[in-house]
Amino acid sequence: MDFTAILPEILVCLTALLVIGADLLGYRDESRRRGLMAFIAAAGLSLSLGFLIGSYAGGYVAVERFFGSFIPDHMTLFFRFALLLSALLTVMLSVHYVQDKIRHAGEFYALICLATLGAMFLSAATEMLTLYLSLELLSISSFVLVALRKDKARSAEASLKYLIFGALSSGLLLYGLSLIFGMTGSIQYIHVNAFLTQNAQTLATKEGFLALQPLLAMFLVLAGLSYKIAAVPFHMWAPDVYEGAPLPVTAFLSVSSKLAGFAALIRMVEMLNTPSLSPVWAKLLIILAVLSMTLGNILAIAQRDIKRMFAYSSIAQAGYLLMGVVALSDTAARDRGLGGIFLYLLVYVFMNLGAFAAITHLSKQVQSTEIIHFSGLGVRAPWFAFVLSCCLISLTGLPPFAGFTGKFYLFGAVTQMGTGYLWLVFVGVVNSVVSLYYYSKIIRVLYFGQSQPELEMQKPHPAMVLASVLGFAGILGLFLFPSPVLNFVATIHSLL
């Protein structure tokens, strides 16, 4: 058994345990103990990230795959990197917030690590049992994270809603996986795919349509995973959870949950990628993509709270990414679709966490997340207002930032599927134009709103400044130099 294959996960788990130990046995001084826990969390995540990069640079290949339940392939490597990066940036932007507003800081940092651990295993799972257990570790950790503001009733309410919707989605997913196991007699993705390919005729009715059992299984699996990525109509939890959760938790969920959900979704659609099933799930995902883009962008226009606006923005972003997943059903568009998904997900980490680093600092100055209260902060806090504006422009999909490059590859993948899908690209472009309206509204408030002269600006924590710098560097760097990511994705030949 080669435990080197899961050493990054082991390091993340040990980091969570060390944080708990530091909380129990560390300094008596509360401020010093909180600083120690933040340092341990950041150091542990950095060490795991460093080992991951070092093992790839050194050409390490793990031959043992834990009896087919875990595969350290290039797709796993990408998602592990993105998840560790998002967790590290979350820890950096949260230091000041946790010191001021989270009663039990040890719980926060430990749960961030445990949720990341679940997401990392989820991205590498190659059989259904590991998938489900990893998803539950991620979900349960997320439920508790949302409720950490114990002085706010809205935080507890958001956690309860998240728990209820999460339990429902887990049930749907588990029933779908059970049906697949009942049909195929295996929980291994590759064996399921082989069975479905070989028995395509037995899964169809006399009229040539898909039989009820595979159709129902596919619908339940896609419904369960659509909840994790906040796709319409499984998005109902997102606005309330984003608004009620502590700001760093909102930042973490907006990225890590999306990364884990798309990692699982990509593996699932590849498992179901057979001549008889692909047209069906592709049509279902097209419907989800159109609904998510349209509803997310339209409802975001009316939002006054920036956290709630980002919830609807996240729903719309899921719609754009689903266009890339649709492209995986077509052989000609598959490679470009993969490149678009992976590039945009990495850009999304920098866009969202860079924006939330700025929002965390700005909201601390005005003691509010209402957009109107950010009026004139472009003059009072120029760096954070600038970073937030750049991230919003990137989320819109405009140059010179990497959101443009990501959308270019996502939309380009759909065009390679044929002229019959150009309408879907048109819907994506129109929705991007709509999103410009509510993103620009924030920029207008920052720079053209009336400043509050009596407002006393507080000095930002160095870690938060560094998080904002990394966010800005990421969206600019990936626009100028997207080739390393695209070349890496080109080495991915199998998703199972």
What's the CA gap between 34 and 39, in Å, rounded? Answer: 9
Three-class SS of residue 210?
strand
* pLDDT in the model for residue 205: 62
* pLDDT in the model for residue 90: 94
* pLDDT in the model for residue 455: 66
Convert the pLDDT of each residue in 23-82 to its tens digit.
888 677 777 888 889 899 999 999 999 999 888 887 766 555 677 778 888 889 999 999
* pLDDT in the model for residue 275: 83
Check if the beta carbon of residue 94 is closer than 8 Å to that of residue 88: no
* pLDDT in the model for residue 62: 58
* pLDDT in the model for residue 132: 92
Spans of the chain, pLDDT less than 50? none
Query: Buried (b) or exposed (e) across 267-296, using 16+ Cβ within 10 A?
Result: bbbbbbbbebbbebbbebbbebbbbbbbbb
What's the CA gap between 42 and 30, in Å, rounded? Answer: 18
Convert the pLDDT of each residue in 82-106 to its tens digit.
999 999 999 999 988 888 888 888 8
Based on DSSP, count helices (H) and strands (E) in the chain, helices before strands.
20, 0
Check if the beta carbon of residue 126 is closer than 8 Å to that of residue 134: no
What's the CA gap between 115 and 383, in Å, rounded? Answer: 31
* pLDDT in the model for residue 461: 84
**Global confidence as pTM:** 0.94
* pLDDT in the model for residue 432: 94
* pLDDT in the model for residue 223: 92
Closest CA to 175 of 126, 213, 127: 213
Check if the beta carbon of residue 109 is closer than 8 Å to that of residue 44: no
